[in-house]
Amino acid sequence: MTLALIAGRGDLPAKVAAAQDQPPLICGYDGMLPDLVGVDLTFRLETLGTLLVQLGERGITKVCFCGAIDRPALDPSKLDAETLPLVPLFQKALAAGDNGALQILMQIFEQTGFDVVGADELLPELVAQQGVLSDKWPDAQMRKDAAKGEVVLAGLAPLDIGQACVIGREQVLGVETIGGTDHLLSTLPPETKGACAILCKGPKEGQIREIDMPTIGPNTLTAAHAAGLAGVVVDAGDVIILEQDRCAALADELGLVLWVRRGGEG
The answer to whether 250 touches 217, Cβ cutoff 8 Å, is: no
Exposure string for 105-122, b = 16+ CB within 10 A, e = fewer = bbebbeebebebebbbeb
Domain boundaries along the sequence of the chain: 3-122, 127-261
Positive or negative CA dihedral for 65, 69, 71, 73? negative
CATH topology of domain 127-261: Cytidine Deaminase; domain 2 (3.40.140)
pTM: 0.88
Integer Cα distance of 9 and 68 in angstroms: 5
CATH number of 3-122: 3.40.50.20
For each of the chain's 266 residues, which pLDDT tens digit applies?
A: 699 999 988 889 999 999 999 999 999 998 887 776 789 999 999 999 999 999 999 999 999 999 888 888 889 999 999 999 999 988 888 777 777 778 888 999 999 999 999 999 999 999 999 999 999 999 999 999 999 999 999 988 877 778 899 999 999 999 998 778 999 999 998 888 888 999 999 987 777 788 888 999 999 999 999 999 999 999 999 999 999 999 999 999 999 999 999 987 87
